[in-house]
A and B are shown apart, each in its own frame.
Chain A
Amino acid sequence: MTTTLETSAALPELSNNEIARYSRHLILPEVGLEGQQKLKAAKVLCVGTGGLGAPLTYYLAAAGIGTIGLVDFDVVDESNLQRQIIHSTKDVGRPKIDSAAEKLKALNPHLNIVKYETMLTSANALEIIKGYDVVADGTDNFQTRYLVNDACVLSGNIPNAYGSIFRFEGQASVFATEEGPCYRCLYPEPPPPGLVPSCAEGGVLGILPGLVGVIQATEVIKLILGKGEPLIGRLLLVDSLNMKFRELKLRKNPDCPVCGKNPTVTELIDYDQFCGITPEPKAVEVNGTQVQNGIPQISPKDLKKKLDEGADIFVLDVREPHEYQIANLGAKLIPLGEVANRYVELDKDREIVVHCKMGGRSQKAAEFLQQQGFKVTNLAGGITAWSNDVDPTIAKY
């Protein structure tokens, strides 16, 4: 199968330094001098410099890709370091894009880096993607996945080396080529918000983005070289727990709303709306108390004060048992998923303060309990805020 990338007529020369650096590529007949020149001429846009983006950009830089565009707006957090190997301990708090660019440039000074310190949006995606030969999608949410896909298709079928991960499992493919399916051919619509937890909620095995990001990098290199069988029309499934790789057939959907015969999506849309993301209702102040969606909110400091004064408050933790094991406030534990079946265990006459890690799940639990007639308050910011504001000996995770 041939790829969609065309060979530019005049490929850039390699300097003697570059020839020495890429020697192991140059002596591979499948790469050779011309292949290495193609890599040097290539422009690859990497969306996200996190779990997938870290190994992906690292290997692309090492391999001699001439221009790498980086899109990220996040800053390095301590909890990223378990898998985002491009960032170091000293980078915590720095913009990821600066930390990544520094490492890539140190690895390969011949590399040209273009930084886009922004969130990819419907307003800027086509402009950013324009001029790139391949896009590698290493983002972490459905909105951006559909945005990247549609932008690749609408920009004249720029191939998208796709990878995604969940806990121990990964998926990889190449979407949006002219002859092959796009992401919407595979999944026309996203799941409702909340059904599939994010890495922050569900956890992720640290090496998994390494495995999947390197598969994406491999596909990028193959597309540029025009060698081998790209993952077009195939979905590779990676199961790291059982270490099994499987492959499923993908078909281009003739009725696909973006790449089908009669497309209905001909420009970028509102992807938050498409993915059912509604902005959180803002908390309002009622008699000096913050109230969100009908649920009064209490700050960790106020809760501490009330408990110290001996107020009759029952604290309920709605996190998972394995989170409770890491850090807890000694509260009763009923995971959010079990609240609907177990709320009868709670006392209707007592004031209940619900907490979780950050305050999101407990808000949901509180809304449910209020409907059942309980007197509930949500601990704003969860156990994380408690650790920040009341008791720093409580571990943050």
Chain B
Amino acid sequence: MKIHIPTPLRAYTDRQDAVSVNAATLGEALDELTTKHPDLKKHLYSEEGKLRAFVNVYLNDEDIRYLPEKESTKVGEGDALSIIPSIAGGC
């Protein structure tokens, strides 16, 4: 499945706007992403391993924090994960 990387975090994925992973669950997909791009990890997770408060991850159009099965949610080739960080620009 594809994981979409937003502009501010592309510095940590060799400027790629999407990363393909081969995973059966949501947790595996995110693990594979941060294993492939270790620099990304500290921008997505706190030291306690919690998703940071200014980053949201969506499986298709749903916030993963609200998925009933959380990290064990099954994912397939047709699904897309999007990382949506907080932006503030308006100037």
CB distance from A79 to the nearest CB of B (A): 10
Specify the chain A residue showing the minimal Cβ separation from B7: A167
Complex: A248 Cα to B7 Cα, angstroms: 18
Specify the chain B residue showing the minimal Cβ separation from A170: B87
- The answer to whether B84 touches A237, judged by C-beta atoms less than 8 angstroms apart, is yes
- The answer to whether A164 touches B91, judged by C-beta atoms less than 8 angstroms apart, is no
CB distance from B89 to the nearest CB of A (A): 5
Identify whether the interface residues of B are mostly helix, strand, loop, or mixed. mixed
Interface residues of A (CB under 8 A from B): 48, 50-53, 80, 137-142, 145, 163-169, 171, 186-191, 195-200, 202, 204, 209, 235, 237, 246-251, 337
Sampled A-B contacts (11; CB under 8 Å): A52-B90, A140-B89, A142-B86, A166-B8, A166-B87, A187-B86, A191-B86, A196-B88, A199-B91, A204-B91, A248-B63
A167 neighbours in B (Cβ, 8 Å): 7
B43 neighbours in A (Cβ, 8 Å): 195
- The answer to whether A249 and B87 touch (CB under 8 A), given A190-B54, A195-B43, is no
- The answer to whether A139 touches B56, judged by C-beta atoms less than 8 angstroms apart, is no
Which chain B residues numbered 64 to 91 have a C-beta less than 8 Å away from chain A? 66, 82, 84-91
Q: Which 6 A-B pairs have the closest CB atoms?
A: A189-B53, A140-B91, A166-B87, A140-B90, A191-B54, A187-B86
- The answer to whether A186 touches B89, judged by C-beta atoms less than 8 angstroms apart, is no
How many A-B residue pairs lie within 8 Å, measured between CB atoms?
97
Complex: A196 Cα to B62 Cα, angstroms: 24
B85 neighbours in A (Cβ, 8 Å): 191, 196
- The answer to whether B88 touches A164, judged by C-beta atoms less than 8 angstroms apart, is yes
B89 neighbours in A (Cβ, 8 Å): 51, 140, 164-166, 196, 198-199, 202, 204
Complex: A247 Cα to B60 Cα, angstroms: 9
B87 neighbours in A (Cβ, 8 Å): 164-166, 169, 171, 196
A199 neighbours in B (Cβ, 8 Å): 89, 91
Specify the chain B residue showing the minimal Cβ separation from A202: B89
Which chain B residues numbered 4 to 49 have a C-beta less than 8 Å away from chain A? 6-8, 11, 43
Complex: A166 Cα to B89 Cα, angstroms: 6
- The answer to whether B88 touches A249, judged by C-beta atoms less than 8 angstroms apart, is no
CB distance from B44 to the nearest CB of A (A): 11
- The answer to whether A198 and B91 touch (CB under 8 A), given A166-B7, A168-B7, A248-B63, is yes
5 extra interchain contacts, Cβ-Cβ under 8 A, other than A189-B53, A198-B89, A246-B82? A142-B88, A169-B6, A196-B88, A199-B91, A237-B84
CB distance from B67 to the nearest CB of A (A): 11
The residue that A141 contacts in the complex, of B62, B84, B88, with Cβ under 8 A, is: B88
Specify the chain B residue showing the minimal Cβ separation from A80: B91
A171 neighbours in B (Cβ, 8 Å): 84, 87
A235 neighbours in B (Cβ, 8 Å): 84
